[in-house]
């Protein structure tokens, strides 16, 4: 049943090609290209961050004031309050504070408002004109996002499939 990805399981192997939360745009692009995913696929797949949570420790650099003009100050204050509590680094924040339980295009709207939780997410709108334009197009057109996300998932599903005795 399902894909044959390996003969065993390994956390290191599973996360080896996944960019970290503090990745710069060049690192993001390289990680996606290394597995055969284009620039456009990267932006569409990043929209999966409309769901899920992250520990304060994964976005602490966004809380330190080294964010430049790209962070919404109300958003920053809310995160600082959440993460300054006694169990701060293990506290969880929604990746999408507006609609955390809905798969939608709000993630892209958040990025344009300076409310990207992870530095690697916010880099999509602050570090490159081309990525910003794709983010803007998905923020304006949820159907385009859904279609491109579907196609990106289908492409990702076909990458590195092992068959026969190899998997």
Binding residues for heme b, as ranges, are 49
Q: Which residues are annotated as a binding site for substrate?
A: 19
Q: Which residues are annotated as a binding site for Ca(2+)?
A: 50, 96, 104
Answer for the pair 149, 44: CB distance below 8 angstroms, yes or no: yes
- As a dihedral over the C-alpha atoms of residue 37, residue 40, residue 111, residue 30, rounded to 10 degrees, the angle is 40
H-run or E-run covering 54: strand 53-55
Q: Which residues are annotated as a binding site?
A: 19, 49-50, 96, 104
Report CA 77 to chain centroid distance, whole Å: 22
DSSP structure class, residue 123:
H
Place of tokens 């385009």: 144
């Amino acid at each position: 049943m399902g894909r044959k990805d390996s003969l065993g399981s390994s956390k290191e192997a599973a996360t080896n090609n996944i960019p970290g939360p503090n990745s710069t745009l060049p690192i993001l692009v390289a990680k996606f290209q290394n597995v055969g995913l284009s620039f456009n696929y990267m932006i569409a797949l990043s929209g999966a961050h409309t769901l899920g949570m992250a520990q304060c420790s994964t976005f602490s650099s966004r809380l330190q004031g080294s964010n430049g003009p790209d962070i919404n100050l109300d958003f920053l204050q809310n995160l600082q309050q959440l993460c300054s509590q006694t169990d701060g680094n293990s506290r969880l924040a929604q990746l999408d504070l507006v609609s955390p339980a809905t798969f939608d295009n709000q993630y892209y709207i958040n990025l344009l408002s300076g409310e990207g939780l992870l530095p690697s997410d916010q880099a999509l709108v602050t570090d490159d004109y081309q990525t910003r334009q794709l983010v803007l197009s998905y923020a304006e057109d949820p159907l385009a996002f859904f279609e491109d996300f579907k196609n990106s998932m289908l492409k990702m599903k076909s990458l590195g499939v092992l068959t026969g005795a190899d998997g």
